[in-house]
Homo-oligomer: A and B are copies of this chain.
Amino acid sequence: MAKEVGFVNQGKATGGDASNAKEIGIGLLGYAFMGKAHTNAFKKIPYIYWPPAAIPKLVSVCGSHEDGVREAAARYGYDHYTTDWRKLVTDPEVDVFDNVGPNNLHAEPCIAAAKAGKHVLCEKPLARNAREAKSMWDAVREASVKHMCGFSYRFVPAIRLAKEMLDAGELGEIYHFRASYQQEWVMDVNPAHVWRLSKETSGSGAVGDLGSHIIDLARFLVGEVETISGTTRTFIPERPSADGKGTVKVDVDDAFEAVVRFKNGAVGTLEASRFCAGRKNHMTFEINGSKGSIAFNLEKLNSLQVYFREEQNPQLHGFREVLVTESDHPFYSVWWPHGHILGWEHAHIHEINHFLNAIAMNESVEPYGATFEDGYKAAVICDAILVSAETHTEQQIAYE
C-alpha cells in the first residue's frame, strides 16, 4: 500500500527524539500582527515537525513601547525584552534576528544584525526602495549569514504545488500571468493615518505592501521580468491623523495597475488595491501555458484550480479544483488527514521551519526560500512601477 489511508496510523512511534535538534536563539523586532504570526510558528515547529531538526529558543523581543513589549514577552514566552533594537541584534544568545517591524526599521537593524553575525529573516517588502534593499542584500552577503525575505506565500501548499508543476513543465510554455491583490481596509476616510499610509515609514502603499507579494510570485513561478509599465492612484489623499489632531497627507499609492512582460515571452497584468470593496485578503493569480492553466485565490488557499489540455477523454476537460491536503502534497504530511484544511498562519510555519532547518543543517534556503536578493529584485520592480506611473513609459528592469 503506497499511500497511507485516511486517518489511521498518525500516532505510530517513529523512534525519533529531539536529541539531535539544534537550539536556535530568536530575537524578534516587532510583536503585533506579524510578531504573533511568527511567534506562533516558533512555538509550533518543535512538536509539528518531528523529530525536530531545530528548536527555536525565544530569547528576546523588542518594541518601542515598553509596556507593550514587556507584555508581549510575558505572553509569548520570550526570556527577555528590550526597547533598543541595537541591544537585540547584538544579544549573544540571539542566533536569528527576525524583523517584523515597520518598513523604515528594516534596513538599519537588519544590516546591524548581519554585521553581528546573526542570520536574518525580514518581513516583506524588504525595504522602502531598491537602494535600501540593495544595501541589505550586500550586508548579508558580506556577513555570510543566512537570510530570507518574508514572501511567505511561497510556502502556501497550493502555490508550492503550482511551482512544482511549473518546474516540471506540466503547463508547457508560459503565455500569461495575471495577478491581482485586493483588499479594502482603507476605503473609509476615518481610519487614522497609519504607518502604512506614509512614504517615510512604508516607502510606498499598495505597490510595496501587496504588489511586492505578487511580483515575487511572478518571478518565483514564471521567471524574470523584462519590462513593466503602469499607473498608480491615491483615492483618499488626506486622512485624519492618528492623534486626532488635524489631517495628514497620504503620500503613497492606494492602488496600482501594471502590464508586465517576462524575459521568456509571457505577458500579463499585475495589480493591487486597498479599495476593492468586499475583498478582504484576496490575492489571486492565473497562469496560462501551452499545456494547461492554473488559478489560485488566497481567500480559498487550500485549493488550486488546474486545467490540462491533454487528457484521455477530451469530452471531460475542465478546470479541476485540487484540494491540496493529501499527504503527498507540499507541506501537508505533518498535519492532519486529508480534507482537514489549513489556514493562513500555516504558510508562516512552513516558511520559518524552512529557514530554521537551513540554519540547523547549514543548507541553502534556495530555491524555495526568498532571499534578500529576491527582496531586492522585487523592490527594483516596485520602483519601476512608480517611475512608469510618473513618466507614462514602459520601464526596462535591470538589476545591479
Which has the most chain B C-beta neighbours within 10 Å: A30, A185, A280, A313? A280
Minimum CB–CB distance for A229 against chain B, Å: 5
Interchain CA distance A14-B31 in the complex, whole Å: 13
Question: Which chain B residues border A392 with CB–CB below 8 Å?
Answer: 227, 229, 393-394
Contact assessment for A307 and B343 in the assembled complex, using a CB-CB cutoff below 8 Å: no
Interface assignment of A358: CB less than 8 Å from any CB of chain B:
no
Contact assessment for A280 and B9 in the assembled complex, using a CB-CB cutoff below 8 Å: no
Minimum CB–CB distance for A68 against chain B, Å: 4
Interface assignment of A281: CB less than 8 Å from any CB of chain B:
yes
Chain A, interface residues (CB within 8 Å), range: 35 or more
Interchain CA distance A186-B176 in the complex, whole Å: 15
A13 touches which one: B68, B257, B323 (CB < 8 A)? Answer: B68
Contact assessment for B321 and A176 in the assembled complex, using a CB-CB cutoff below 8 Å: no
Interchain CA distance A282-B295 in the complex, whole Å: 14
A394 touches which one: B229, B288, B289 (CB < 8 A)? Answer: B229
Interchain CA distance A258-B259 in the complex, whole Å: 6
Minimum CB–CB distance for A247 against chain B, Å: 15
Please give me the residue from chain B that is nearest to A328 by CB atom.
Answer: B315
Contact assessment for A13 and B71 in the assembled complex, using a CB-CB cutoff below 8 Å: yes
Question: Which chain B residues border A325 with CB–CB below 8 Å?
Answer: 280
Quick one: given A281-B338, A394-B229, are A323 and B318 in contact (CB under 8 Å)? yes
Question: Can you name 24 A-B residue pairings with CB atoms under 8 Å?
Answer: A1-B190, A1-B192, A5-B186, A8-B191, A10-B32, A10-B33, A13-B71, A17-B71, A43-B44, A161-B315, A175-B273, A175-B276, A229-B392, A231-B261, A231-B394, A269-B269, A269-B271, A278-B292, A301-B341, A314-B328, A318-B320, A318-B321, A320-B321, A321-B321
| Chain A residues within CB distance 8 Å of chain B | 1, 3, 5-18, 30-33, 35-37, 39-40, 43-44, 47-48, 50, 63, 65, 67-68, 70-72, 74-77, 161, 165, 170, 173, 175-176, 178, 180, 182-183, 185-188, 190-192, 194, 196, 227, 229-231, 233, 235, 255, 257-261, 265, 267-269, 271, 273, 275-282, 288-293, 298-303, 306-309, 313-323, 325-326, 328-329, 335-346, 392-394
Contacts A11-B30, A175-B235, A299-B302 given; 7 further ones with Cβ under 8 A? A6-B186, A11-B36, A11-B63, A33-B337, A279-B293, A316-B322, A319-B320
